[in-house]
Amino acid sequence: MSGSAGEQSDWKIIDRTEEMARKTLRLGVLISGDGSNLQALIDAIEQRELPGVEIALVVSNRADAYGIQRALKHRIPVIYLPWQKRSALPSTGNSMSTSEAKLTALLHLFQIDLIACAGWMRIFTPAFVSQFPRRLINLHPALLPDDGIGDIFTTSDGTVIPVFRGLHVVRQALEAGVKVTGSTLHYVTPEVDAGPVICRAEVAIEPGDTEESLHERIKQVEHKLIVKGIRISF
Ligand code: GRF
């Protein structure tokens, strides 16, 4: 290339300093099924609603999880990791299961900063959880109190309802006859569904709701909640 002073150069120096200084969050998403919340994250990133966030890895404990197809379609690295049955877990001591050790290795290999359980249906041992303080978050389809602890929750209209934890919490809310339930994004702690809350949203229970119809409406709310929560935890 030649050119005298004042002549316009064909070469432009592109200053990427600002771009490179921008923080990047490598997100790992753990799924077990449909992956509609994973899809919400993919869409939010594509629509530039989560600047600096990259889904660097998706892990599914089920080979037939539809979320795997969603990840593949968007060329996101996805791994099927068969999960050891709970009965095979060590009953004493503070050790991880073999599956958890494999997951830990994957999370390190892919340099994951934040791990989001989005429809992940497996419980972790305290040994696994303690590796990721404030870096492991979970979407729970019911309302949890701010600190995650306790058995009652006060809704925005002042109604006191029970806290639903564990499996089938949408069904539990219907069976309890409460008028409001919702979803909570929280940090994972060794106690199941009991970590500090990142954000939360209420969903009204309609007359005639079934577990399916109610869960579908909860999921619609979750799709916004998980995006908001990732922004907060960044
Ligand atoms: C969500 O309702 C989440 O709260 C719960 O499992 C469901 C997963 O949905 N833990 P999807 O797989 O993201 O569609």
pLDDT, position 12: 64
- The CATH number for 23-132, chosen from 3.40.50.360, 3.40.50.170, 1.20.1250.20, 3.90.550.10, is 3.40.50.170
% of residues, the chain, pLDDT over 70: 87
pLDDT, position 24: 92
The DSSP bridge pattern shows strands 136-140 and 114-117 to be: parallel
Token digits of residue 79: 């791994």
For residue 140, pLDDT beyond 60: yes
Q: Give the whole-angstrom CA distance, residue 37 versus residue 228.
A: 12
Q: Which CATH architecture describes the domain 139-229?
A: 3-Layer(aba) Sandwich (3.40)
Average pLDDT along the chain:
91
pLDDT one-digit tens code per residue, 61-75: 999 999 999 999 999
pLDDT, position 6: 46
- Going by pLDDT thresholds of 50, 70 and 90, the confidence category of residue 88 is low
Helices 169-176 and 211-233: crossing angle in degrees, nearest 10, is 120
pLDDT one-digit tens code per residue, 10-42: 656 666 555 545 679 999 999 999 999 999 999
Least confidently predicted of 9-13, 121-125, 208-212: 9-13
Which sequence spans correspond to the domains of the chain? 23-132, 139-229
Q: Give the whole-angstrom CA distance, residue 17 versus residue 224.
A: 32
The residue whose CB lies within 8 Å of the most ligand 1 atoms, and thus the one to mutate among 62, 139, 168, is: 139
Phi, psi (rounded to 5 degrees) for 185:
-100, 125
Mean pLDDT of 50-62: 97
pLDDT, position 91: 55
Reported pTM? 0.89
Residue written as token pair 């790992």? 28
Q: Give the whole-angstrom CA distance, residue 198 versus residue 35.
A: 21
Say yes or no: do domains 23-132 and 139-229 share a fold. yes
- The ligand 1 atom at the shortest distance from the C-alpha of residue 33 is 12
Structural contact between residues 52 and 20, judged by C-beta atoms closer than 8 angstroms: no
Decide if 186 is catalytic: no
Tell me, in angstroms, the distance from the centre of ligand 1 to residue 223's CA: 9
For residues 118, 115, 148 and 178, what is the CA-based torsion angle, rounded to 10 degrees?
A: -10
